[in-house]
């Protein structure tokens, strides 16, 4: 497991502009970027989505970017989602939710002062209306632990109009098992992940085994519940446990899904897909790719070594 100090260093690197430029310039690191990020524009996102669909995999598109500076920025994010949903629909990619979108509320204004939550809700509502027209769904990504209550309030408001809006819960948080119970209801789509942030011990399990044990408790609640569970992990043991619990719970193959990130364990994604499992690939795209890339590298030392080799082998 990557040392805490190394992880902290990488997260600091995610905010370093000089390093970002070096990564952008080096031809080999560009390849690395393309492994984890579809590209910067809508065309790249649509191409990547079509490619995953041709492999029989489902897709959720994430336009990278978080914590917008003002309402105009938040509106730009909203309009970009509406635009890409229109194009997905025109291409027939969004039918039946085959390609959906993932949205971060902070990119829609959630952190903008006292009215942030309602700004984000209005923007998310517009995106949901566009998704409904395109015949697909929206999933609200979960960000750091201080945003969970606000995100779940927005979810509730959106689900009153669009019951198919999904949410993400993070097993690293102590509250999540209870949140899973609340959300394991008919029609509710819940993506369960470990969590990509670094919350304090007061609210989170900080050792990896605690996070994994919590993940197992949560997946049991979701798979035995009434909703539609989406297990987002690359962890072979958790995936195996998920399969076994889904079987025990009598879930049909189309009554839950596995989700993985673009570029992470692609062979396993294909293998699970070929066995008839519903597998959805999270495809990030957009100009703000750098912080996302560094977060992925922080999760796995082998990826970090790849980046360092790329930067030094020009």
CA dist., res. 57 & res. 273, Å (int)? 7
Query: CA 210 to CA 137: how far, in whole Å?
Result: 32
For the question of residue 248 being annotated catalytic, the response is: no
CA 73 – CA 239 distance, rounded (Å): 38
Among 197, 220, 266, 288, binds ligand FAD (CB under 6 A): 197
Side-chain half-sphere of 78: how many Cα atoms within 13 Å?
21
Q: Minimal distance in Å, beta carbon 40 to ligand FAD?
A: 20
Burial class (CB in 10 A: 0-12, 13-18, 19+), 71: middle
| Region of 27-35, 66-74, 178-186, 258-266 interacting with ligand FAD (CB under 6 A) | 258-266
Specify whether the CB–CB gap between 124 and 105 falls below 8 A. yes
Told to check if 2 binds ligand FAD by CB under 6 A, we report no
Pick 87 or 234: Cβ nearer ligand FAD: 234
Residue with smaller CB distance to ligand FAD, 47 or 235: 235
Q: Does 163 bind ligand FAD (CB under 6 A)?
A: no
Q: Pick from 39, 116, 166, 195: which binds ligand FAD (CB under 6 A)?
A: 195
| Given the residues 98, 141, 179, 212, the one annotated as active site | 141
194 binds ligand FAD (CB under 6 A): yes
Q: What separation in angstroms does the CA of 220 have from each of 99, 214, 278?
A: 26, 10, 18
Question: What are the residue ranges of helices labelled H in 14-92?
Answer: 17-25, 27-36, 42-54, 71-90
Q: Considering the rule CB under 6 A, would residue 61 count as an interface residue with ligand FAD? A: no
Q: With binding defined as CB under 6 A, does residue 233 bind ligand FAD?
A: yes
Q: Does the annotation mark 141 as catalytic?
A: yes
Binding of ligand FAD by 20 (CB under 6 A) = no
| Residues catalogued as catalytic | 141, 191
């Amino acid at each position: 497991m990557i040392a805490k100090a190394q992880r902290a260093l990488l997260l600091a690197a995610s905010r370093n502009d000089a390093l970002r430029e070096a990564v952008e310039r080096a031809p080999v690191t560009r390849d690395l970027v393309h492994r984890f990020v579809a590209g910067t524009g809508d065309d790249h996102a649509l191409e990547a989505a079509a490619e995953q669909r041709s492999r029989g995999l489902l897709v959720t598109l994430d336009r990278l970017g978080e914590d917008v500076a003002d309402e105009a920025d938040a509106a730009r994010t909203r309009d970009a989602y509406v635009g890409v949903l229109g194009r997905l629909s025109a291409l027939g990619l969004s039918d039946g939710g085959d390609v959906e979108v993932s949205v971060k509320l902070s990119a829609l204004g959630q952190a903008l002062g006292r009215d942030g939550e309602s700004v984000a809700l209005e923007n998310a509502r517009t995106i949901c209306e566009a998704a409904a027209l395109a015949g697909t769904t929206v999933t609200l990504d979960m960000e750091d632990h201080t945003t969970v209550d606000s995100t779940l309030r927005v979810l509730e408001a959106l689900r009153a109009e669009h019951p198919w809006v999904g949410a993400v819960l993070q097993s690293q948080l102590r509250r999540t098992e209870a949140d899973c119970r609340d959300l394991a209801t008919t029609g509710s789509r819940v993506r369960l992940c470990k969590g990509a942030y670094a919350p304090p011990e007061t609210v989170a399990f900080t050792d990896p085994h605690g996070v994994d044990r919590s993940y197992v408790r949560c997946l049991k609640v979701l798979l035995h519940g009434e909703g539609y569970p989406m297990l987002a992990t690359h962890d072979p043991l958790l995936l195996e446990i998920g399969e076994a619990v889904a079987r025990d719970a009598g879930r049909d193959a189309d009554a839950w899904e596995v989700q993985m990130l673009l570029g992470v364990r692609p062979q396993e994604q294909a293998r699970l897909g070929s066995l008839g499992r519903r597998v959805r690939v999270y495809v990030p795209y957009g100009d703000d790719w750098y912080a996302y890339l560094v977060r992925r590298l922080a999760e796995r030392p082998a990826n970090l070594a790849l980046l360092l080799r790329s930067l030094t082998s020009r």
